[in-house]
Amino acid sequence: MSILDYFRSSKKANTATVAKERLQIIVAHQRGERGAPDYFPLMKQEIIAVIRKYVHISEEQVSVQLEQNDDNLSVLELNVTLPERN
Amino acid sequence: MAQIIVVTSGKGGVGKTTSSAAIATGLAIRGHKTVVIDFDIGLRNLDLIMGCERRVVYDFVNVINGESNLNQALIKDKRSENLYVLPASQTRDKDALTREGVGKVLDELSKDFEYIVCDSPAGIETGALMALYFADVAIVTTNPEVSSVRDSDRILGILQSKSRRAEQNLEPIKEYLLLTRYSPTRVKNGEMLSVADVEEILAIKLLGVIPESQAVLRASNSGVPVIMDQESDAGQAYGDTVSRLLGEEIPLRFVTEEKKGLLKRIFGS
Ligand SMILES: Nc1ncnc2c1ncn2[C@@H]1O[C@H](COP(=O)(O)OP(=O)(O)OP(=O)(O)O)[C@@H](O)[C@H]1O
Ligand SMILES: [Mg+2]
């Protein structure tokens, strides 16, 4: 690195680290839905719609994951972050 | 039986055609009878990178439709005895590729060739799916950049579910990462994902790292695959990549910043 680079880069955040963190989340999410049945995306949307009838939440607050534990057992995991009651 | 290698990515413009041309040429130079096929129907490019555009008479789709035989469509490379190019058609729609048609052509080529390199188009539509369907090996070409890495991961999902090997419950496609347009200086400045970052995120075996290089444009200008330019960093990096594909274990090169002279060190470049 040159002396000029040093001053230039010291001001900027390390964007590669940000990229890596974002990708780790995206890829984990994509892989979670992999191998899921074709009806899965629609079912997920409908589950979210049902919850929304009762509580005000955004899509990011719901995670629906299908986990293949072994050949004849998979687990549907539903995680909802509910807004605080007040 | 030939080994079928798909060069794929999801995202466009990451270096699939550049890599297909380089890898096919490298395999041929090392004595393996190789054919490289352009699957980018309607947007052919490989003929230009291979420098054989003026010798295209018949193409992949002509062969599938029975309008010409394979030998009429195959173009023999000027530089290597062992290398042939099967060009894509320039005009027709991509639905011209059918699974049966592609399968038949690959079967016929398998009798004569050791390696069949399939240059995939971008995206996840018919052309890309056809290019990867019959593959034994996938070279997932990726740039150190968020959208390219995400698309590569999507392609990995497709390789694992929509390929012949997946559908028939055979041994899975061998998946390799080829990281292209890598800039060690930008990585060092924290502006670009490093080799280790991308390896960690995608978790597949690394086949090679090709630096961002001016030699690539020079090569495409003159229609000579960059691997022929063994003076250049990119040419040497593709050479190493081919060696690893053939099972050799060699260290990575061009992944750290090159040493600069004193003036450059003070003032930057
Ligand atoms: N290592 C590299 N250094 C510099 N430029 C590169 C490098 N690799 C590829 N390029 C350039 O990037 C552009 C895209 O390359 P290429 O055509 O091989 O990508 P592609 O993945 O086949 O694109 P498409 O998805 O459109 O088929 C070209 O202009 C090429 O010269
Ligand atoms: Mg291309």
> In which element (H, E) is residue A52 found?
helix A40-54
Report, as an integer, the average pLDDT of B162-191: 97
For residue B217, pLDDT over 90 is answered with yes
Which atom of ligand 1 has the smallest separation from the CA of B13? 23
Interatomic CA distance for residues A63 and B22, integer angstroms: 43
How much is the pLDDT for A67?
Answer: 74
Is B49 in contact with B65 (CB distance < 8 Å)?
no
Q: Which amino acid is at A68?
A: Q
Task: Identify all chain A residues contacting B193, using CB atoms and an 8 Å cutoff.
Answer: 16, 19-20, 23
Q: Is B146 in contact with A30 (Cβ distance < 8 A)?
A: no
pLDDT of residue A6: 57
Model confidence band, residue B33 (pLDDT cutoffs 50, 70, 90): very high
Q: Which atom of ligand 1 is nearest to the CA of B40?
A: 27
Which two structure tokens, joined as six digits, stand for B184? 């060690």
List all residues 6 or more positions away from B231 whose beta carbon is below 8 Å from its beta carbon: none
CA distance B247 to B205: 13
Cα separation, B238 vs B241, whole angstroms: 5
Chain B, 19 to 48: residues with Cβ < 8 Å from chain A are none
B190 in contact with A, Cβ within 8 Å? yes
Do B219 and B229 meet the contact criterion of CB atoms below 8 Å apart? yes
CA B19 / ligand 1 centre spacing (Å): 8
Topology at the third CATH level for domain A38-86: Cell Cycle; Chain A (3.30.1070)
- Centre of ligand 2 to C-alpha A33, Å, is 29
Check pLDDT > 60 for residue B219.
yes
For residue A33, what pLDDT is reported? 76
pTM, two decimals, is 0.88
Q: What pLDDT was estimated at residue A75? A: 84
Residues of chain B above pLDDT 90, percent: 91
Distance from CA of A82 to the nearest CA of B (A): 29
Q: With beta carbons under 8 A apart, name residues in chain B contacting A14.
A: 190
The per-residue pLDDT for range B38-88, each reduced to its tens digit, is 999 989 999 999 999 999 999 999 999 999 999 999 999 999 999 999 999
Q: Who among A4, A9, A22 is closest to B267 (CB)?
A: A4
- Mean pLDDT of the region B12-27: 98
B209 pLDDT exceeds 60? yes
A27 to B202: CB separation less than 8 angstroms, yes or no: yes
Range of weakest confidence among B50-54, B110-114, B141-145, B256-260 = B256-260
Residue B46 Cα, ligand 2 centroid: separation in angstroms? 7
Query: For residue B211, which atom of ligand 1 is closest to its CA?
Result: 1
Q: Give the torsion sign (CA, B101, B107, B113, B119).
A: positive
pLDDT, tens only, A23-80: 999 998 888 777 777 888 888 889 888 988 998 888 778 888 777 666 678 888 888 8
- Domain limits of chain A? 1-34, 38-86
